Amino acid sequence: RKEVEQDPGPFNVPEGATVAFNCTYSNSASQSFFWYRQDCRKEPKLLMSVYSSGNEDGRFTAQLNRASQYISLLIRDSKLSDSATYLCVVNIFSNTGFQKLVFGTGTRLLVSP
Amino acid sequence: DAGVIQSPRHEVTEMGQEVTLRCKPISGHNSLFWYRQTMMRGLELLIYFNNNVPIDDSGMPEDRFSAKMPNASFSTLKIQPSEPRDSAVYFCASSLLPEVHEQYFGPGTRLTVT
C-alpha cells in the first residue's frame, strides 16, 4: 500500500463550483499533514497545513480525520487560476529519527470558464 | 531574496554519460532535499542532508546515483552512468528543521536520457 494515496483526477469543474479532494495515508503515527500546489511544469509550493481541528484560508478549507486516516481539501468558488495539481503531503519519522515528507502523486484540477 | 537555485534547467544526454545536477539552497536553511518526479511514481525523496551531513539516502535508486553537500550553500546530485529510465524532473528543496514541512523547492532540472 502506498504511504499517501490520491485520486489522480482530473477533476473538471466550471468556474464558481465547489470541489473537494480526498487523500488517505497509511502510517497511523503521522503527525503533520499538508497540501502543496504544483502548477504545470513548475515546482511544488506549500498551499496550507492541515490541523486536527480543521482550518480555513479564504476559499480553501482543509480537514483531517485521524480515525479514518484521511485528509481533505475543499475549494469554494473555483477560479480559473485554481487549475493545478494538488499534492497531499504527510510528514513521517524515518528510521533515522528525522522527519521527512511523503508526497502523494497529486490530484489534477481543471477549472473551465 | 533568492529562492533555491538549480542548474541546469534542462539536460539532454545520451545513455552512459555522466550527469551532474547542482543546487544552491536558500541562505540560512540547514536542510536540503533531492527529489525525483515522474508521471508514474510522482515525487520521490532521493536523499536529504542536515547541516551538510547525509541523513537519509534510502531513496537513492542504486549505486549509479550519488549526492554531495560540501558546504552549506551547494549540493550536487550525480548520475553515472545515466540510463533512459533516469529521465525525470529532479527537484532540490531546502528548509529549516524542525519546520521541515515548509520546504522551498527550486525550479527543477528536466533530465532526458536518450
pLDDT of B17 strictly over 80: yes
- Yes or no, beta carbons of B107 and A106 under 8 Å apart: no
Query: Percentage of chain A surpassing pLDDT 90?
Result: 77
Question: What is the pLDDT at residue B1?
Answer: 64
Say how far apart CA B52 and CA A19 lie, in whole Å.
42
Angle formed at CA B11 by CA B6 and CA B14, multiple of 5 degrees: 145
The alpha carbon of residue A99 is apart from the nearest alpha carbon of chain B, in Å, by 7
Instruction: Tell the residue number behind the cell numbers 539552497, with chain if given.
Output: B25
pLDDT of A31 strictly over 90: no
Reported as a single tens digit per residue, the pLDDT across A66-106 is 999 999 999 999 999 999 999 999 988 877 777 788 999 99
Phi, psi of A90 (to 5 degrees): -125, 135
pLDDT of A28 strictly over 90: no
B92-104 average pLDDT score: 83
Least confident of B1-5, B29-33, B47-51: B1-5
Chain B interface, best mutation among A3, A32, A43, A55, by max B CB count within 10 A: A43
With an 8 Å Cβ cutoff, the interface of chain A facing chain B consists of 32, 34, 42-46, 49, 87, 89, 91, 94, 96, 98-106
Q: Tell me, yes or no, if B58 comes closer than 8 A to chain A by beta carbon.
A: yes
The alpha carbon of residue B90 is apart from the nearest alpha carbon of chain A, in Å, by 10
The alpha carbon of residue B8 is apart from the nearest alpha carbon of chain A, in Å, by 15
Question: What is the pLDDT at residue B98?
Answer: 65
Q: How far is CA A75 from CA A24, A66, A67, A72, in A?
A: 18, 21, 23, 10
Say how far apart CA B83 and CA B98 lie, in whole Å.
36
Say how far apart CA B84 and CA B67 lie, in whole Å.
19
A44, A100, A104 ranked by CB distance to B56: nearest = A100
* More confident call, B98 vs B30: B30
Question: What is the pLDDT at residue A53?
Answer: 84
B42, B45, B105 ranked by CB distance to A100: nearest = B45
Q: Tell me, yes or no, if B103 comes closer than 8 A to chain A by beta carbon.
A: yes
Question: What is the pLDDT at residue A54?
Answer: 85
Residue type, A15: E
